[in-house]
Amino acid sequence: MTEVAIIPNKWRVKVDSLNHQLVKYSAGGKLVKVAGKEHITEPKWSALDSFHPNMEQAIKKIISLEMEEADVATLEEYLALQVKTAHKITEMIKEVV
């Protein structure tokens, strides 16, 4: 199994012989309550239940997830952010290859 960093310190893709699985970094430091007790979360990488047959579809899913998290007010801001995210991923892939 190989891991490819798509956006360093945010997204990776685990690649095996069948699938491409998304892995997202959580910086931690959030206060959460579990079983009535409060604690601060730790930084960690978490695999998503998102499997894709190729890298292209995995990257499209990352862009989609980034857009869901975005706080944009207009369609123009949304489209600009989508292009910026796709460009950032493209540049990082060029560096790897």
Q: Report which residue type is found at 9.
A: N
pLDDT in tens, 12-21: 889 988 899 9
- The model's pTM is 0.69
Distances (CA, A) of 56 to 39, 47, 52: 38, 18, 9
Domain ranges for the chain: 2-96
64-84 pLDDT per residue, tens: 888 888 888 888 988 888 888
